Amino acid sequence: MPVVDDVTAGAYIGVGFHRGDLNQWHSDLVGDQLAWEKRQFGHRARLYATPAQDALMDAQAHAARAMWNQLHDLWTMTPRCQQSLARMDQALRQARKEIDWYSILPAQAAQAVLKTYVQSWKNCWDGRAEEPRFKARIRSPMSLDIPQGRDLHIKRVHRRWGMVNIPKVGRVRFRWTKDLPVGRRANTDNRITGARLVKDALGWHIAFRIQTLEPRPKSHPGPEVGIDAGVNLPLALSDGNHQDHGRPPRLPDNTSDRDKWLNLDEKAKLLRLERRAAHRKSFRKPRERGSNRLKHIYDQIKQLRARATRRATDWQHQTTTTIARTYGTVVVEQLDITNMVKSARGTVEEPGRNVAQKAGLNRAIAQEAWGRTVTMLTYKTARYGGTLHKVPAPNTSLRCSDCGFITPGSREDQTTFVCKNPGCGFAANADWNAARNILHLYRTGHTVAIPAAGRAVVRRARHVKPPTAR
Ligand SMILES: [Zn+2]
């Protein structure tokens, strides 16, 4: 822990990762004994590369993918007693000598492929993920690693623009939306330790790995709140401060209204593209390659979907930050989303009921991405000195939050809850009722133990690809 006087501490706090509320928060900390803690987080920015640079990054990512496949091939062919990192490393070096197009990939990035590959086996052995697999040319997200921060040479060139060096590609512009610890701000405790390049439908992005030293937050004095992930109210809060995002108007035919994060024009465009793709596909003979035009249509569909996802994530970030700043104790219910989503269709022997309605509900659940909200709340509450608790989910939406009884028929539909218990008659929004129940469960001590953030051992439904193994 560095010894600092008030002025330096102020400078540390004002390093710019968070302003406003948090500064005010910490200002009364400065006088006290400061406890410092290391913080590691990521920051993602879109890269604005030239077409030639884009092509270079594509080529590097393909080489990295080929290397992954070669390593996987070698690993699975090697007898178990001989599988070792040293052996893989030797094979990798040999391959780089013999296959000339591997040279497009910087040596550090190639080493990172090996490291990620070995790590993915460790994740599998620890039960966090499934076995690593081969990566197909299509369907595998393209990514590249820059494991050393000193290769990046980040420079801010404008209020809104930064430049970053990507090995063997060159200088690339990116949008400057966060004060990064570079240049004079960088030191041994506050610095960028590396980055990863990821490509989605909207192009290449860079995710910086940032490490900082910050004062540990005081425990949050704010109130307690129970949160229910509703379908008509995205986040219902027990104190009535519901978090909703407006829903753009629906398309006139109402049946093809898939994605609530797209506006009317975008929805119409998505529908048009999907119809065009289906039409074009109908001419394709079995085993025939898809045409370039069809591929172009798919790319446009992907872009629209990526835009919707980005809007959803943005809303989640803003909302969870507001919640973490406002409340000291946040209580959520423990939901198993994969099981909820899976259960709609049922099995062949036991087909599900109301499949169409449930499929619509599932789509709503998936679009709200509850799991991601909880992940964000976990680290954000910790950062603002608050705590997150989970309570068992069963019956929170069926029980009356006023009298505490489960009376059949109380939940009239998705939105309304009217207690059928004679002598109660409590009527409220169904999601708000559930949120109150969740808070009540916490207050009566019915919490579920949760693993530390980022270390969660996730039990997934079968045939769902784990994000870590991609
Ligand atoms: Zn009641």
Q: What percent of the chain has pLDDT over 90?
A: 38
Gap from CA of 440 to ligand 1 centroid (Å): 14
Gap from CA of 419 to ligand 1 centroid (Å): 5
- Residue 10: per-residue pLDDT: 36
Gap from CA of 236 to ligand 1 centroid (Å): 19
Gap from CA of 428 to ligand 1 centroid (Å): 10
- Do 228 and 209 sit in the same domain of this protein? no
Answer whether residue 469 shows pLDDT above 50: no
- Residue 35: per-residue pLDDT: 84
Q: What is the mean pLDDT of residues 65-70?
A: 95
Dihedral, CA of residue 129, residue 130, residue 134 and residue 138, to nearest 10: -70
Q: How confident is the model at residue 18 (pLDDT cuts 50, 70, 90)?
A: very low
Q: What is the mean pLDDT of residues 156-166?
A: 94
DSSP helix/strand/coil, 69: helix
- Do 178 and 327 sit in the same domain of this protein? no
- Do 176 and 229 sit in the same domain of this protein? no
**Are 238 and 67 spatial neighbours (Cβ–Cβ below 8 Å)?**
no
pTM for this one? Answer: 0.75
Domain total for the chain?
A: 2
Gap from CA of 279 to ligand 1 centroid (Å): 54
- Residue 217: per-residue pLDDT: 87
Q: How confident is the model at residue 243 (pLDDT cuts 50, 70, 90)?
A: confident
Alpha carbons 403 and 204: distance in angstroms, whole number: 54
293 lies in a domain? no
Q: How confident is the model at residue 470 (pLDDT cuts 50, 70, 90)?
A: very low
**Sole residue written with tokens 């590691």:** 40
- Do 192 and 322 sit in the same domain of this protein? no
Gap from CA of 362 to ligand 1 centroid (Å): 28
412 lies in a domain? yes
pLDDT tens by residue, 418-431: 888 888 888 888 88
Strand order in the sheet with 236-237: 236-237, 224-228, 329-334, 387-392
> Whole-number mean pLDDT of the chain?
81
320 lies in a domain? yes
- Do 237 and 198 sit in the same domain of this protein? no
Answer whether residue 17 shows pLDDT above 60: no
Answer whether residue 254 shows pLDDT above 80: no
- Do 49 and 132 sit in the same domain of this protein? yes
Name residues with Cβ closer than 5 Å to ligand 1, which is an ion. Answer: 400, 402-403, 419, 421, 424, 426
Q: What is the mean pLDDT of residues 240-250?
A: 74
265 lies in a domain? no
Gap from CA of 391 to ligand 1 centroid (Å): 21
319 lies in a domain? yes
The least confident of 120-124, 183-187, 253-257, 409-413 is 253-257
- Residue 456: per-residue pLDDT: 43
Distance set, CA 305 to CA 209, 316, 467 (Å): 26, 17, 18
Parallel, antiparallel or unpaired: strands 224-228 and 329-334 = parallel
Query: What single string gives the DSSP state of each residue in 249-316?
Result: PPPTT-SS---TTS-HHHHHHHHHHHHHHHHHHHTPPTTPPPPHHHHHHHHHHHHHHHHHHHHHHHHH
**Are 133 and 90 spatial neighbours (Cβ–Cβ below 8 Å)?**
no
Answer whether residue 381 shows pLDDT above 90: yes
- Do 114 and 237 sit in the same domain of this protein? no
- Do 196 and 232 sit in the same domain of this protein? no
- Do 170 and 234 sit in the same domain of this protein? no
Q: What is the mean pLDDT of residues 10-20?
A: 40
For the chain, report the end-to-end CA distance as a whole number of angstroms.
38
φ, ψ of residue 171 to 5 degrees: the values are -75, 130
Answer whether residue 319 shows pLDDT above 50: yes
Alpha carbons 440 and 129: distance in angstroms, whole number: 34
Domain interval for residue 315: 224-246+310-469
pLDDT tens by residue, 23-52: 555 555 454 567 888 889 999 999 999 999
114 lies in a domain? yes
Query: What single string gives the DSSP state of each residue in 362-413?
Result: HHHHHHHTHHHHHHHHHHHHHHTT-EEEEEE-TTTTTS-TTT----TT-B-S
Gap from CA of 408 to ligand 1 centroid (Å): 11
Gap from CA of 360 to ligand 1 centroid (Å): 29
- Residue 358: per-residue pLDDT: 61
- Residue 446: per-residue pLDDT: 82
- Do 187 and 328 sit in the same domain of this protein? no
Q: How confident is the model at residue 279 (pLDDT cuts 50, 70, 90)?
A: very high
Among 189, 213, 237, the domain-final residue is: 213
- Do 232 and 126 sit in the same domain of this protein? no
Gap from CA of 404 to ligand 1 centroid (Å): 6
- Do 385 and 450 sit in the same domain of this protein? yes
Answer whether residue 386 shows pLDDT above 60: yes
